[in-house]
C-alpha cells in the first residue's frame, strides 16, 4: 500500500515537472480544448420548438410580474400620498 502511494506521488510530481514551462502550458491548453470538444458533443441541444416555447413562457411571466409590480407600486404610492397629505 505504501508503495502505491509513493508511486502515485512520484507520478504527480513527474506530471507537474512536465507541465512547467511554455511547452507544458501549450500541451495543457491543447488538452483542455480537446476535452471541451468531447463535452460539447455530449450536449443535447433543444429543438427550435422548445426554444420558442421557452422564450414565450419567459416573456409572459416577465409581463405578468411587471404588471403586478406596477400595480403594487401604484397602490403604495397612493397610500403614501394619502398618509402624507
Position 24 scores a pLDDT of: 84
Average pLDDT over residues 49-67: 98
Average pLDDT for residues 35-51, to the nearest whole number? 95
Spell out the domain ranges in the chain.
1-43, 44-85
Report the largest interatomic distance among the alpha carbons of the chain, rounded to a whole angstrom. Answer: 84
Position 4 scores a pLDDT of 56
Amino acid at each position: 500500500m505504501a508503495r502505491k502511494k509513493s508511486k502515485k506521488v512520484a507520478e504527480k510530481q513527474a506530471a507537474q515537472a512536465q507541465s512547467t514551462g511554455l511547452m507544458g502550458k501549450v500541451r495543457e491548453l491543447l488538452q483542455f480544448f480537446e476535452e471541451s470538444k468531447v463535452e460539447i458533443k455530449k450536449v443535447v441541444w433543444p429543438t427550435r420548438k422548445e426554444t420558442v416555447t421557452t422564450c414565450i413562457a419567459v416573456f409572459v411571466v416577465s409581463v405578468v410580474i411587471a404588471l403586478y409590480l406596477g400595480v403594487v407600486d401604484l397602490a403604495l404610492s397612493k397610500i403614501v400620498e394619502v398618509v402624507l397629505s
